[in-house]
Amino acid sequence: MHELGLVTHIVRTIEDISIEVQLTNVSSVTLELGEVSGVIPDYLTDCWKYFRVKSELLKEADLKIFMIPAVTICEDCNRTYSTLKYKKICPHCGSGTTYLKTGTEFNIKEIEAC
Amino acid sequence: MGEFRVLEVKQSIFADNDRRADELRKELKTKKLFLLNLMSSPGAGKTTTLKKTIRCLQDKLTIGVMEADIDSDVDARSISELGVKTIQLHTGGMCHLDTEMTRQGLKGLEADGLDLAILENVGNLVCPAEFDTGAVKNVMILSVPEGHDKPLKYPLMFTICDVVLINKIDVLPYFDFDLEVCKSYILKRNPNAIIIPISACTGEGIEEWVQWLSKEVRNW
């Protein structure tokens, strides 16, 4: 259900762009998806296939997903590490003063269209 | 048909909704209409808290309520019994409301002229946090039976809220819920959060909450 809502927003955004730059047919849409964005790629693809046919512009467009790893940075030692592997505590110095640098992205990177 | 070409978009999927939300807030400001977005998981006590809140404020403010659910109108009926303008919004299976749906809701409610419009969002701690509805303030209710670890499990929701109401404190003795630990988890995620423990059932804490809300509405 979550992914379906997101798909409607992707479609709306691309439809707006298509009016702006006069596109009539989109063959692919590439997304950047962070590892901890909370979006499940498989579900998103399924919802995409269900929903794209409702749009004249996107009915044949493939969805490509480019994953972005989740990286946390430590404020104390200034080093970075994998968020999924080590979570909140810095594996280099043991500090808990860490924050997420990348991994929550949910962007439309590019579209292929004419 | 022309040649296919690649267009760099580089745009957050939430950007369009965020822009619409800012526009809506500007319009609300000129109308002096305060929109409150109320969120929680299912069963945390949104409707009961809302009823208590309305009873305290309906003599001083004109209030309208939008009840968003996937289906049914039980909440809208229950609120309309209090004599305030109410409409039920059906999301048709969607797990959240966005700005466009909220705007349609305000239109359906005929909200112009009201002091306070309250949006009771779909019961869910994930998706409603991602979509700005255009509300002036976001409030979420966490209830004691859900456990004090929720701010760790649903970080975004606690990050975007201006106020967290901890509801059902009348049953604290029966649950393994540590109020102080819960507060520290919330503040870790959101140092600016205002935390008010309440019981919508007994009325404890409601005065503090209602005072905060009336002050915000007055200052908008």
DSSP single-letter state for residue A92: T
Reported as a single tens digit per residue, the pLDDT across A21-36 is: 999 999 999 999 999 9
Bridge partners (DSSP) listed for residue A88:
none
Closest by Cα among B37, B64, B68, B14 to B136: B37
The total number of structural domains in chain A stands at 1
Does an H or E element contain B166, and which?
Answer: strand B163-167
CATH number at residue A30: 3.30.2320.50
A-contacting residues in B 44-103 (Cβ below 8 Å): 93-96, 98
DSSP A41-64: HHHHHHHHHHHHTT-TTTTT-EEE
Reported as a single tens digit per residue, the pLDDT across B125-137 is: 988 998 999 999 9
On whether residue B21 sits in a domain, the answer given is yes
For A29, the domain range is 2-69+102-113
CB B64 within 8 Å of CB B109: yes
DSSP B49-79: HHHHHHHHHTTTS-EEEEEEESS--HHHHHH
Q: What is the mean pLDDT of chain A?
A: 94
Reported as a single tens digit per residue, the pLDDT across A71-98 is: 999 999 999 999 999 998 999 999 999 9
Reported as a single tens digit per residue, the pLDDT across B39-58 is: 999 999 999 999 999 999 99
**What confidence category does residue B150 fall into, taking pLDDT thresholds of 50, 70 and 90?**
very high
B5 vs A5, A10, A113: nearest CB: A113
CATH number at residue B211: 3.40.50.300
Is residue B92's pLDDT more than 80?
no
Please indicate whether, in this complex, the C-beta atoms of A1 and B95 are within 8 angstroms of each other: yes
Please indicate whether, in this complex, the C-beta atoms of A109 and B10 are within 8 angstroms of each other: yes
Closest by Cα among B32, B90, B88, B89 to B62: B32
On whether residue A88 sits in a domain, the answer given is no
Is residue B1's pLDDT more than 60?
no
For B150, the domain range is 15-219
> Average of pLDDT values for A100-107?
94
Phi, psi at B70, each rounded to 5°: -70, -40
Phi-psi group of B12: left, alpha or beta (phi > 0 → left; psi -120 to 50 → alpha; rest → beta): beta
Is residue A1's pLDDT more than 60?
no
The total number of structural domains in chain B stands at 1
CB B136 within 8 Å of CB B115: no
